[in-house]
Amino acid sequence: MVDRLDLPCKAIYILDRGYEGYNTMTHIEESGNNYLIRVKDINSGGILSGYDLPDSEFDIIVNQL
């Protein structure tokens, strides 16, 4: 979807659970856009289980180059 769209301005892609994946995130980042992805709980074995994350609430700051 990201590769097929030719948007005249930047966009924020919003993805629901089940669409999280490194390939998806890379495609969106390479297109120059941003994304928000709702993911499964940290303890569910999903993509977040591979990260060393705090047990409390947190924010991740992303700096674009």
**CA-CA distance, 12 to 64, in Å (whole number)?**
14
Predicted local distance difference test score (pLDDT) of residue 58: 63
Q: Each residue of 6-61: pLDDT tens digit?
A: 777 888 888 887 777 788 888 888 888 888 888 777 677 777 667 776 666 666 67
Predicted local distance difference test score (pLDDT) of residue 32: 87
Predicted local distance difference test score (pLDDT) of residue 15: 84
Q: How many residues does the chain have?
A: 65
Q: What would the two tokens of residue 29 be? A: 């980042």
Give the start-to-end residue ranges of the domains of the chain. 14-49
